[in-house]
Structure 1
Amino acid sequence: ELEVMTPAGRFTLQPAPGLYAAVVGGSGITPVLSIAATLLAREPSARFCLIRSDRTTASTMFLEEVADLKDRYPQRFQLVTVLSREEQQAGLPSGRLGRERLTELLPALLPVAQVTGWFLCGPYGLVQGAERALRGLGVDRTRVHQEIFHVAEGAGTEPVAAAPAHSTVTVRLDGRGGTWPVQEGETLLETVLRNRPDAPYACKGGVCGTCRAFLVAGEVRMDRNFALEPEETQAGYVLACQSHPATEAVELDFDR
Structure 2
Amino acid sequence: MARFHRLRVAAVDRLTDDSVALTLTVPEHLREEYRYVPGQHLALRRSADGEEIRRTYSICSPAPADGPPDSLRVGVRLVEGGAFSTYALKEIDLGDELEVMTPAGRFTLPPAPGRYAAIVGGSGITPVLSIVSTLLAREPRARFCLVRSDRTAASTMFLEEVADLKDRYPDRLQLVTVLSREEQQAGLPSGRLDQERLTGLLSALLPVEQVDGWFLCGPYGLVEGAERALRGLGVARSRIHEEIFHVDAGAAPASTASAPAHSTVTARLDGRGGSWPVRDGESLLETVLRNRPDAPYACKGGVCGTCRAFLVSGEVRMDRNFALEAEETEAGYVLACQSHPVTETVELDFDR
Inter-partner Cα distance in structure 1 for 2:200 and 2:144: 19
SS at match of 1:165: coil
What amino acid maps onto 1:239 in structure 2? L
Q: What's the TM-score once normalised by structure 1's chain length? A: 0.95
Q: 2:128 aligns with which of 2, 12, 32?
A: 32
2:157 counterpart residue number: 61
- 2:347 counterpart of 1:248: no
What amino acid maps onto 2:292 in structure 1? R
1:233 counterpart residue number: 329
Gaps of 5+ in 2: 7-98
1:218 counterpart residue number: 314
Cα contact 2:320–2:338 (8 A) shared by 1: yes
1:6 counterpart residue number: 102
Inter-partner Cα distance in structure 1 for 2:133 and 2:157: 15
Q: Tell me whether 83-92 or 236-245 shows the greater mean CA deviation.
A: 83-92
1:23 counterpart residue number: 119
What amino acid maps onto 1:10 in structure 2? R
Cα contact 2:254–2:321 (8 A) shared by 1: no
Higher relative contact order (CA 8 A, sep 6+): 1
Inter-partner Cα distance in structure 2 for 1:165 and 1:236: 24
Q: 1:159 offset after TM fit, Å? A: 4.8
Q: 1:89 offset after TM fit, Å? A: 2.2
- C-alpha RMSD of matched pairs (Å): 1.4
Q: 2:180 aligns with which of 64, 70, 84?
A: 84
Deviations 1:145-187 (A, max 9, x none): 1111111224142353332121111111111111111111111
Q: 1:46 aligns with which of 115, 130, 142?
A: 142
Inter-partner Cα distance in structure 2 for 1:233 and 1:105: 32
Cα contact 1:135–1:141 (8 A) shared by 2: yes
Q: What's the TM-score once normalised by structure 2's chain length? A: 0.70
1:199 counterpart residue number: 295
Q: 1:4 offset after TM fit, Å? A: 5.0
Query: Which structure shows the bigger proportion of residues in strand conformation?
Result: 2
What amino acid maps onto 2:249 in structure 1? E
Cα contact 1:85–1:95 (8 A) shared by 2: yes
Gaps of 5+ in 1: none
Q: 2:273 aligns with which of 169, 177, 182?
A: 177
Identity of aligned residues (%): 84
What amino acid maps onto 1:244 in structure 2? H
Q: 1:109 aligns with which of 200, 205, 217?
A: 205
Inter-partner Cα distance in structure 2 for 1:88 and 1:139: 30
Q: 1:123 offset after TM fit, Å? A: 0.4
Cα contact 1:81–1:91 (8 A) shared by 2: no
SS at match of 1:210: coil
SS at match of 1:58: helix
Deviations 1:2-44 (A, max 9, x none): 4754311111111112211110000000010111111111111
Inter-partner Cα distance in structure 2 for 1:66 and 1:87: 20
Tell me the matched-pair count: 256
